[in-house]
Amino acid sequence: DTAVSQTPKYLVTQMGNDKSIKCEQNLGHDTMYWYKQDSKKFLKIMFSYNNKELIINETVPNRFSPKSPDKAHLNLHINSLELGDSAVYFCASSQTSRSTDTQYFGPGTRLTVL
């Protein structure tokens, strides 16, 4: 049973399109996250949701919007895709938002914008 799953695994699209990435966790965790990994492997947090409330929103363009229909799901919608959005996007979850909690990562979604 996959703890944190993401769909799709690969996403290739044209500039200007709108796309979504879905994330689900079956660990019963309260907190979920989205991270972006660029071509140099650098990871940076984008969003965090705790019990469906947004608690972190780093300096991410408002073309990116997270949506959490329930505690087990955190989806990422991206409008008007740009070349610079090409990256691997990772979803993660943790029991709570405490600093001591381990985050469990999904397998990633590789987004390529042409």
Partner 1 sequence: GDSVTQMEGPVTLSEEAFLTINCTYTATGYPSLFWYVQYPGEGLQLLLKATKADDKGSNKGFEATYRKETTSFHLEKGSVQVSDSAVYFCALSPNYGGSQGNLIFGKGTKLSVKP
- Pairing type for strands 87-94 and 31-37 reads antiparallel
Nearer to partner 1, 44 or 63 (CB): 44
In angstroms, give the least distance from the CB of 58 to partner 1: 8
d(CA 61, CA 23): 20
* Residue 12 lies near partner 1 (rule: CB under 8 A): no
- Which string of x and - marks every residue 83-112 that binds partner 1 (by CB under 8 A)? -------x-x-x-xxxxxxxxxxxxx----
Map residues 27-66 to x or -, x wherever contact with partner 1 holds by CB under 8 A. Answer: ----x-x-x----xxxxxx--x-x----xx----------
> What amino acid occupies position 97?
S
Residues in CB range of 19: below 8 A, 6 or more apart: 11, 13, 77, 78, 81, 111
